[in-house]
Every structure is written in structure tokens, then in C-alpha cells.
Structure 1
Amino acid sequence: MAAELSELLGPGKVSIREADLEVHAADKWYAKSLPDLVVFAESTKDVSKTLGYASEHGIPVTTRGAGIGYVGGCVPVEGGIVLSLARMKRIIEINPADGVAVVEPGVITVELQKAARALGWDYPPDPASLKECSIGGNIATNAGGPRCLKYGVTRSYVLGLEVVLADGRVMRCGGRVHKNKTGFDLCGLFTGSEGMLGIVTEITLRLIPKPPARAMLAAVFPDFPAAAAAVQAILNRGHLPSALEITDSFTLAAARKRLGEQKLPPGEAHLIVEIDGRPAAVTSEIEEIRALLEELGALRADLAADEAACEEIWQMRREFSYSLRDTGLTKLNEDIVVPRSKLVELVEFARRMEEDTGIPVACFGHAGDGNIHTNLMVAGFEDPVTREKAEHALDQLFAWVLDHGGAITGEHGVGLAKKPWIRQALGEVSFDVHRSLKDALDPQGILNPGKFLD
């Protein structure tokens, strides 16, 4: 197979080296499975030829971007070919006149943001891993991030796609116009499809003018309910922040160990508020919100009034996840979503579950849209008995979330990690529709097999 693909694609694009197979066997989740070989595609033609070959021979193909997903989405559970798009990293065009960027899937998210901002424009989606994650991976999972409250998730910015189908045919859907109601929403179909319907090789994205100013508040509250109440109060007063991030006491304790007590003053809950827009409006609005937070019982509300100070707060927020890893516990990072009114109930449920199971639970994330990362912090996860206990705790968590009108994933995707709960989350009719779409576009089932539709 390696010899035939090398002849088909040219030199330097196919590897069966043990080191390459190891790297492409896993993502950030714990599951691991070695592929038979790795193809390093450098063009749409390479992808098309690879899928044509795989289709002819019935070989599984698992597409991989930067490989930093949290749900095992790019783990090649049935071996075969891992098709890496990491070399397809060109920013083909940034066109302010049309308000678009055209990129290949291997472009790292922060590199696109930098290129757009250098021209006074912006690509708003900003996953916490934006310095590592690729645009192709963002498309595969419909990635979100802190700024979704105001600006929306990845799908809101996808205008057009070039997609290679399972049999090697190349299709274009959408385009570069900002309004387009021609046929079905195929861009929406492929965005979030986790590599199971086709492989995206070129993306046309919507850009917006970069807001000329922003400011932030980092506030500490005596308890989580007070911080959650502040979230709703901010919105009820007519403010629409670009980000509203909340953090619980367990996460704060871990962050203080990593970052130092001076970075996070005493308090059981932390709230980050970001406002952007015209300079005069930002200055006025941030002071209004600061006064509101103090009125609502904030112990402290530190103002970041310029770009450097804002970035310092965001860097602190990005460290929260690493702080939890520093505990030495296995972090099962569940990106569940609940209606905003259920934030306090979610954390109260997490505390009860913690007492019942003995597994610590850390909650932090995007309070503005209810996407709270609920992290089960498991000691000795390698032990089968402990793992079973953790999976039972996840059963409880997901059942509670679904019973309260929520969703089991907001931005990481389903992959392998949430596969056991997908029928419950979708319902039988919706699951059957998903299967029908999969069968229509990938009748042999060679694209990313073994995941949540199998």
C-alpha cells in the first residue's frame, strides 16, 4: 500500500516510520490506535488521489489536522490511512474588499487572526487552543471559544468549502458572497461533521472589521451563585460583551498554585468580562459594568484598559486548563452546554456528584452561552475499576444535562469520547437521519470509521 501510494502521490508524502505512526495514533484524549501508514497531503489533488485509491481498495481513512482534539476524533481506530493536512497551510487570500479570507485547512487559527488584523480586519472565532489548532480542525468540530457570545461559532464564518468526497470527487459548495441561498446548506452539513462525510481542502471564511478598542474586567466573587447572577444581570442591563467567562473554586485553587496568589485574589468564583467596539463606547460601557459588578457584590474588579493588559488576562484564562493538568489527575474535559439559567444548578449538581463519587469536578468556561467545561479530575484513571466509576459519573452528568435542556458537546465534538451517549443526545429519528446522510456520501464507510455513527 505504501509503495503504491508513493508512486501515486510522489516522493516524501507517505510514511510507515514508527515515529510517524506513533504521533498520528492519538490526539489529546487517552485513546490510541496505530494507523498502517500516514499520507502527508500537500494539495487537493493529493487528497483526491488518496481517497480514490482508498475507495477502490476499501481502506479506512482518518483525516487529521493539528491533532489536539479532546474527544479522540482523529484516532484511527480501524487502522488504514491517516491523512494529514498539516502541510496544507497556505493563507491563499485575504480580501478586505470582499470581507473574506481563503485558506487551506492546515492554517493555524492564530496565524489567520494575525494576518487579518494586520489589515484592520478580524476572524473572531478563538478557541483556547488557537495557537495550536488548525482551521480544518475548527471546521471538523464547529469549534467555538470565549467570543461566541457576541460573534458566534466557526459555522457563522464559513462562506464556502472545497470538499473531497469519499470516492475522490471534488465538490465546491457555498462561495465568497455573504448571502447565498442556492440549494441546501452543504457548508453547514460539512462544518461539524468530524471528517465522516468528506475532507475539506479549502475554506472561504467571512471576515469582519476589527473593533478598534477593547477593555476587560477580571472580577472575584465570594461564591459561584453570585458570579452566575452577575452574568445574567450584565445581559439584562442591555450589555452584550464579546466574552463572559466564569470559573469555580476548584479551578481557582489549582490556578493559584500555578500562577501565584497575587494573580487571583481570594474568592470562590472568578468572572471575566470583555467589551469591544469604538473607543469612547468601550470606555463608557466598561465603567458601567464595573459599577454593576461592585453593586452585585464583587470583592474586586480589576480593569484592563489596553490591548496588552487584556491579553494578560486572556493568558491567565488559558492557563486554567494547564493548572488542572498540574494536579496530576486525569482531566476528562466535558464541554457540555446548559441553558444560561441553569449555570448554578449545574455547579450544584457537580458538587453533589463529587460527593457521591469521590471524583473532584472543576467547572469553568463560557458563561455567556452556557458552555461550561465540566472537568472530571480522576486519580488512577488507568485502573479499570476507577475508569468504570468515571464513566458512570459521566452517565450521570450527561443524563442531567440532557434532562435540563442542554447538549453533551458545544465545541469539542463527539468523536470516541461521547460515542456511548450519542443516541440519547440525538434521539432515534435524528440518529437515523445522520446515518442516512453518512450512507449517501460515504457508502463504503471508509471515512473516519469507528466513531459515533458506527
Structure 2
Amino acid sequence: MTPTWLPALTELLGPNQVSVEADTLAIHGTDKWFAANTPKAVVFAESTADVSATLRFATENNIPVTPRGSGVGYVGGCVPLNGGIALSLARMNQILELNPADGLAIVQPGVITGDLQNAAAQLGWFYPPDPASLKECSLGGNLATNAGGPRCLKYGVTRHYVLGLEAVLMDGTILRAGGRCHKNKTGFDLIGLFVGSEGLLGIITEATLRLIPHPPLRAMLSASFDTFAEAAHAVQQILGSGHLPSALEITDRFTLQAARNYIGDTVPTGNAHLLIEIDGQPDAVPLEIAALQTLLQSLNALTISAAIGDLACEAFWKLRREFSYSLRATGLIKLNEDVVVPRGKLVELVTFAENLQAESGFPVACFGHAGDGNIHVNIMVPDMNDPDQRDRAEIALDRLFHHVLSLGGAITGEHGVGLAKKRWFPEAISPGAMDVHQRLKSALDPNNLLNPGKFVTPISE
């Protein structure tokens, strides 16, 4: 049924920016998680003024609004659970400024992460955050979830590169926080408040991002091991020997086999795998790679391959980025959980995952960022629409998250809470922290219209 408020919204923004076409509604009703709910209308914002006008209109008419970037999230964060308006920021896709002298870029939220990286690299500068979906995910989505990626170990996550931002509150108020300075301690950390807030407090419409000089040379090692425990031990030895790789990735047996089935024999042998990336000055990188090769040989690596330079390294990274697609190619639904454990608990986590596989009857695949303990545990379910399978999957997820919390871990490292992890959120933070979350939501969105139905509601609800 066409909503009664649609003509007024269309008149406010124009017919080219409001759609109720069935295909458009369906696309904007889901992300890469399995949940979906169709919005009543999709608004394609083209400016901050459009976002402000839409939110002000929605507040006046009590309409839920769910912001959306590229829709490649894994937790249902952009699913419009209460219908209403799906607010797409995809058309706000301009790099407004690249300024090496100031070491920054100013971007709109619809810019694709990889496009900013490429544009900065052409000037000899570097934007390090690198989620695996960097060729399709948007910076707005990265900001909303405080996205990470393999390079977090050395360079940090999205929040560490935000100097300033512009955001719109539910009542249409436009605020700016931070600016162009690399140091700025003026007032509360409003940037930190909005980065990672998953669109529950406001919608980011512009960001000023820190750039750093691009490392002159990078190199990589690909090493396979007979067991996951040996690969995890190698991680500790690498870091304990004074090396700080820019990335340190680990992969288990099931994921490797799925990749072999999908890609072919180019996938290394063995039951566990490490990818190690080093970057820095041309005189230093080859020496460090040689030292790491010697170390890996002493740690019983089955195979060791090296890559020097961007093109050779990208071939290794292409393999890493294919892991998710390889798992999807199994035909199973991939419940991708980005849990985090203290680094010393990696073997315990994967051992638990192997036991969970036997207990649940579902394959469980583990891979991810070994250097910071952020491991993607993927429970592979044939059919989430089958009630029995869905119940067993929910039990398996419950066991996983409780075990992670018992290890002193976190339920999400980079994907966010969204819908997928909503029921574990109260256990993952302290009662005092929950109270503060609800107070903030109540202050900025008292009627719970902005991305409603997710993990925080106003106190009144």
C-alpha cells in the first residue's frame, strides 16, 4: 500500500530522488545477512540538505528512517526493520578534496573505500583501513561500523583516521565536529560518538580523513603449516621477535579446502595458513622478509613463498579476499561472525569451533586477523528457512558468543552489532555502559525513528 505521506515527500525532494518501485524496495530491504524487510520508500540523498530535509520530514510525520551505504554489511545493520524510509547515501559519492600538504581527504559517505585508496596512492599518500570488501563497501558504512581490515595490526581502524565529520541528527540538525587539524582536543569526542554508532544517533554526510605517506615498498610471505596450533604459535613468535607486520592473517583447514575447490591448486597445501605483510623503506623491507623467512623455517612451516612489490603482493591478497567467496560457493549460507579474543586464545577459539562443528552438524570455517585476535568464525548452514536448521544455528551462535565472552573477548570487531548480534549485546557490555547507550539514544533520537529495531532503544521504550 502506498503511504499517505509519499506525495509530500516526493514534492519535497523531487521524483528522481524518491522511489517505490518493487525492485528498488527489495534491494534496499536487506544486506548480506539473511534478514530482510521492505521499506515503504527509498530516498536517494544527493546532499547534506537532502538528508536534513528527509529526517526533518520523517520526524514531523513519525516515519522510521534507516540509513544505507553500499549494503554489503553482514549483520543486518541497514535492514529497515520497521519499514518507513530507506535513506540511501550512494549518490553522495564525491571525493571533495585530496590535500597532501594537510595530510587529509574530505569525502562524502558514498565514496567506495578502494577508490579513495587509489586516488590517494596516485599522489603518493595512503589511506590504510582496508576491509575485505574495499572494492564495493562505502566509506559511510565503514564509518558507521568503525570498520577494520587486515592492516589494523599496524595502522589501526577507521576511527584512527577521522579528523572531522559532518552529521545530521534525526530532527534535521546539522553538526560539524573536529576539522582539518591532526590534533584537536576541543570539547567532547563527538567524532568517536558517531563513528561506530551504526546509524542509531545520526547520519554522517561528510568526513575529513587522515592520510599518511604511502610506504615505498611492501612485501609478503605466504606460509602453510600442518596444524592451526603451529600457525598460531608462529603468530606469537613473529610478534615476540620484534616484528610488527602491517597485516598478519590466519586461515583454517575448512576455509583452505573451500578455496581449493573454488579457485584450484594455486591455494597452498597444509591445514593452516599465514599471510604476513611488511611495508617500509626499500633498504629495510628485504632484510625483514629474509629474517621472517628464517624464523618461519625454524617454526616448521611446510611451504614459504615471498612476494615483493605491489603487483606481487596483490596476487596474495586476491587469494585472501577470495576466502569469503569460496565459502559462499559451497552453496551454504555463511553466518559470518567477526568475534575477537585475546591473541593468546586463538588456538582455544578454533578448537572450540571444531567441537562446535561436531556438536551442531554444521561446518565451521575460521579465518581472519590473527595479529589482533579478530577471527571470522563462519557457521555454514544449508537452509536458514528450515525451522530445525535455523534453531540449531541459533543454538550454535549462542554457544559461540558465550564462549567468546568467557575468554574475555568481544562479539564484534568490525562488522557491528546490527540485528545479527542484538540479543548478545546486553551481555557484552556492562549495565552502566548499557544505561549510557540508552541515554544517548534518548537524547538524540527520543522517538526511536533512526535505524529502529537495532541494539539500542531510548529509555522510554
Q: Indicate the TM-score class for this superposition, using the shorter chain for normalisation.
A: over 0.9
Q: 1:8 Cα shift?
A: 1.1
Q: String of CA shifts for 1:196-249, please: whole Å, max 9, x gaps.
A: 000100000000000010000010111100000000100001000000000000
Q: 1:337 aligned to 2:356?
A: no
Q: 1:401 Cα shift?
A: 0.4
Q: 1:113 aligned to 2:122?
A: no
> Which residue of 56, 59, 68 corresponds with 2:60?
56
Q: Which amino acid aligns with 1:194?
A: E
Q: Which amino acid aligns with 1:450?
A: G
- Quote the Cα distance in structure 1 between the aligned partners of 2:327 and 2:389: 19
> Which residue of 75, 79, 83 corresponds with 1:71?
75
Q: 1:259 aligned to 2:266?
A: no
> Which residue of 75, 89, 92 corresponds with 1:85?
89
Q: Which shifted more, 422-431 or 31-40? A: 422-431
Trace 1:299-448 onto structure 2 (pairs within 5 A): 299-448=302-451
Q: Which amino acid aligns with 2:369?
A: H
Moved over 3 A (4+): none
Q: 1:297 aligned to 2:300?
A: yes
Q: Which amino acid aligns with 1:427?
A: S
Gaps of 5+ in 2: none
Q: Which amino acid aligns with 2:117?
A: Q
Q: 1:102 Cα shift?
A: 0.1
Equivalent position SS for 1:322: helix
**C-alpha contact 1:2 1:15 (8 A) present in aligned 2:** no
- Quote the Cα distance in structure 2 between the aligned partners of 1:357 and 1:25: 30
Q: 1:443 Cα shift?
A: 1.1
Q: Which amino acid aligns with 2:37?
A: S
What does residue 94 of structure 1 align with?
A: 98
Q: Which amino acid aligns with 1:112?
A: L
Say what the alpha-carbon RMSD is for the aligned residues.
Answer: 0.7
Q: Which shifted more, 350-359 or 242-251? A: 350-359
Q: 1:117 Cα shift?
A: 0.4
Q: 1:431 Cα shift?
A: 1.1
Q: TM-score, normalised by structure 1?
A: 0.99
Q: 1:180 aligned to 2:184?
A: yes
Equivalent position SS for 2:453: coil
Equivalent position SS for 1:451: coil
Q: String of CA shifts for 1:103-126, please: whole Å, max 9, x gaps.
A: 000000000001100000010000
- Quote the Cα distance in structure 2 between the aligned partners of 1:97 and 1:4: 46
What does residue 236 of structure 1 align with?
A: 240
* Number of residue equivalences: 453
Equivalent position SS for 2:339: coil
Equivalent position SS for 2:283: helix
> Which residue of 269, 279, 282 corresponds with 1:276?
279
- Quote the Cα distance in structure 1 between the aligned partners of 2:88 and 2:377: 30
**C-alpha contact 1:2 1:16 (8 A) present in aligned 2:** no
Q: 1:184 Cα shift?
A: 0.6
**C-alpha contact 1:160 1:173 (8 A) present in aligned 2:** yes
Trace 1:28-67 onto structure 2 (pairs within 5 A): 28-67=32-71
Q: TM-score, normalised by structure 2?
A: 0.97
What does residue 3 of structure 1 align with?
A: 7
Q: 1:381 Cα shift?
A: 2.2
- Quote the Cα distance in structure 2 between the aligned partners of 1:180 and 1:186: 12
Q: 1:134 Cα shift?
A: 0.1
Gaps of 5+ in 1: none
Equivalent position SS for 2:378: strand
- Quote the Cα distance in structure 2 between the aligned partners of 1:111 and 1:383: 40
Trace 1:14-33 onto structure 2 (pairs within 5 A): 14-33=18-37
- Quote the Cα distance in structure 1 between the aligned partners of 2:112 and 2:146: 15
Q: 1:428 Cα shift?
A: 2.1
- Quote the Cα distance in structure 2 between the aligned partners of 1:229 and 1:283: 23
Percent identity reads 65
What does residue 141 of structure 2 align with?
A: 137
Q: Which amino acid aligns with 1:31?
A: A
